């Protein structure tokens, strides 16, 4: 108790030197934590960009072109040989080739259950992926889909002809509760009251794929409550060969036939190279979010470099000031040290007195820099969120410093400054025990 009382008296009498240590320690801690936090956050953002940002790695080539006045569109399907060539590129993870037929309405007839379906019938090239990564991952992240897109039966394979996948909610709307019951069933697609083609159902896909929950067209839906359950764009997806069974006036329309080719690139760094490769084979309209992503990446890199240089320099200077403050504080208390040695205090007792006082001071410092660093990082998070949110939707509050980092730094800071304090007290006390002023 006597040693604690002496520590409190000592801190009170030498406030000026303690204040200097306070300021240096708080400044150094804030800057070091800010540097560590900003570097860790930027690395996390970049890691998510390259691994998780599927939208940024998607390239869409549309199957039409504009006339010179940019008034009218005309069909310009991407050649199948070009698609096959691009699919072999090692930077391309997968390709999805989308088709559709549009008219006022089509009839769909399952045995004993006739239906009208919306005016769009969707199709895919069975040689490639039925769904793009964006379609699948968006359904998982935004609408809670779990598992594979095809929930019953199987997906397309390259040998399939006159085949179809059907929306699971559409099955329920037909009054069929067992999804397996429709696998292998055949239905007719009728156009202008004539049967165009007979198609076999090979699988049922999750209703959240291609989800548009606000879709509320009840004209073709037999159950008036069906729209509350469904989020599909179209009730069926057919193999692309089905398109050939419809009249030319339908398939030759710019809104029908091949619509777009979606390229999913493995790594963001390769997107630009794949874009240039595609441009070498076709001049069709191409869309990629790479340009916006590159701008955001540039902003993030500049912030990271600036924080690294400024924080690094000031942090080193501040740490030097912290250690100098500790040593200067010990030197300023030479008379107090001498008095204690004359009164018979041992080296160990003197060291403990200064460590007790040091811990009291540290408590104030830790509370202050912890509050300030969280305030600063909250401000940084607010300022940078629009930039990193455009890069990756899977991370949140990335620039608010991690509590584990603050805790680890605090433990290291306590250990190092305590060792310096104890060593300085030990050395200074030794001088007076040897009779050296």
d(CA 40, CA 56): 22
Q: Please report which helix (H) or strand (E) contains residue 87, including its range.
A: helix 80-87
Tell me which residue of 324, 329, 325, 340 sits closest to 432, measured CA to CA: 340
For residues 353 and 98, the model is more confident at 98
Which residues share a beta bridge with 65? 74
Three-state DSSP at 252 gives coil
Q: How high is the pLDDT of residue 119?
A: 59
Contact 421, 324 (CB under 8 A): no
Joined together, the tokens standing for residue 28 give 């150094």
Contact 57, 267 (CB under 8 A): yes
Proportion of the chain above pLDDT 70, given as a percent:
65
For residues 25 and 295, the model is more confident at 25
DSSP for 360-390, written as a single string: HHHHHHHHHHHHHHHHHHHHHHHHHHHHHHT
CB burial of residue 291 (10 Å; 0-12, 13-18, 19+): exposed
d(CA 288, CA 392): 15
The pLDDT confidence band at residue 327, using thresholds 50, 70 and 90, is low
User: Residue 166 phi/psi, 5° resolution?
Assistant: -130, 145
Residue at token pair 């912290």? 322
Contact 146, 184 (CB under 8 A): no
Judge whether residue 222 has pLDDT over 60.
no
Joined together, the tokens standing for residue 95 give 């390709």
How do 236-239 and 120-124 pair as beta strands?
parallel
Q: How high is the pLDDT of residue 349?
A: 73
Q: What is the mean pLDDT of residues 132-151?
A: 83
Give the list of residues 6+ apart from residue 17 with CB closer than 8 angstroms, or none: 325, 328, 329, 332, 333
Judge whether residue 106 has pLDDT over 70.
no
Q: How high is the pLDDT of residue 115?
A: 59
Q: How high is the pLDDT of residue 133?
A: 87
Q: How high is the pLDDT of residue 112?
A: 52
**Domain map of the chain by residue range?**
2-51+296-433, 95-264
Joined together, the tokens standing for residue 305 give 């470099």
d(CA 172, CA 369): 60
d(CA 4, CA 10): 10
What are the start-end ranges of the E strands in 139-291?
150-153, 163-167, 186-191, 194-205, 236-239, 257-265, 286-288
Three-state DSSP at 95 gives strand
Contact 227, 148 (CB under 8 A): no
Highest mean pLDDT among 232-236, 251-255, 269-273: 269-273
Contact 401, 307 (CB under 8 A): no
Q: How high is the pLDDT of residue 165?
A: 92
Joined together, the tokens standing for residue 273 give 């190279």
Judge whether residue 54 has pLDDT over 80.
no
For residues 168 and 235, the model is more confident at 168
d(CA 384, CA 391): 11
Judge whether residue 202 has pLDDT over 70.
yes
Judge whether residue 228 has pLDDT over 50.
no
Joined together, the tokens standing for residue 105 give 């309405």
Ranges 53-62, 252-261, 273-282: which has the least confidence: 252-261
Judge whether residue 159 has pLDDT over 90.
yes
């Amino acid at each position: 108790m006597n040693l604690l009382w002496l520590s409190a008296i000592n801190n009170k009498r030498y406030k000026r030197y303690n204040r200097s240590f306070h300021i240096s320690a708080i400044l150094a801690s804030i800057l070091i934590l800010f540097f560590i936090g900003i570097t860790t956050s930027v690395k996390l953002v970049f890691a998510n960009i390259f691994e998780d940002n599927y939208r940024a790695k998607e390239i869409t080539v549309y199957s039409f072109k504009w006339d010179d006045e940019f008034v009218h569109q005309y069909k310009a399907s991407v050649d199948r040989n070009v698609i096959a060539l691009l699919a072999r590129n090692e930077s391309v993870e997968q390709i999805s080739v989308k088709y559709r037929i549009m008219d006022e309405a089509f009839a769909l007839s399952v045995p004993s259950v006739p239906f009208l379906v919306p005016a769009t019938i969707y199709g895919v090239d069975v040689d490639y992926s039925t769904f793009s990564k964006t379609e699948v991952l968006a359904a998982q992240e935004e609408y809670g889909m779990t598992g594979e897109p095809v929930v019953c039966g199987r997906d397309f394979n390259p040998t399939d002809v006159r085949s179809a996948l059907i929306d699971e909610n559409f099955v329920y709307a037909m009054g069929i509760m067992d999804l397996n019951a429709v696998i292998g069933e055949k239905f007719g697609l009728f156009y202008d009251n004539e049967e165009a083609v007979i198609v076999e159902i090979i699988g049922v896909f999750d209703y959240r794929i291609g989800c548009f929950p606000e879709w509320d067209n009840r004209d073709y839906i037999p159950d008036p409550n069906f729209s509350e359950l469904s989020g599909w764009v179209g009730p069926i997806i057919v193999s692309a060969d089905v398109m050939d069974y419809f009249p030319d006036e339908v398939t030759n329309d710019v809104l029908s036939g091949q619509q777009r080719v979606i390229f999913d690139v493995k790594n963001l760094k390769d997107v630009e190279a794949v874009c240039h490769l595609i441009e070498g084979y076709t001049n069709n309209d191409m869309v990629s979010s790479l340009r916006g992503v590159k701008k955001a990446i540039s902003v993030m890199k500049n912030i990271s470099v600036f924080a690294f240089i400024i924080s690094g320099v000031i942090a080193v200077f501040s740490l030097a000031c912290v250690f100098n403050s500790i040593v200067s504080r010990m030197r300023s208390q030479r008379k107090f040290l001498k008095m204690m040695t004359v009164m018979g205090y041992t080296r160990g007792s003197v060291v403990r007195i200064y460590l007790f006082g040091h811990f009291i001071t540290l408590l104030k410092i830790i509370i202050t820099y912890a509050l300030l660093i969280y305030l600063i990082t909250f401000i940084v998070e607010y300022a940078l969120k629009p930039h990193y949110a455009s890069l990756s939707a899977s991370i949140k509050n990335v620039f608010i410093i991690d509590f584990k980092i603050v805790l680890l730094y605090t433990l290291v800071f306590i250990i190092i400054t305590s060792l310096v304090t104890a060593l300085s007290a030990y050395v200074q006390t030794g001088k007076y025990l040897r009779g050296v002023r």
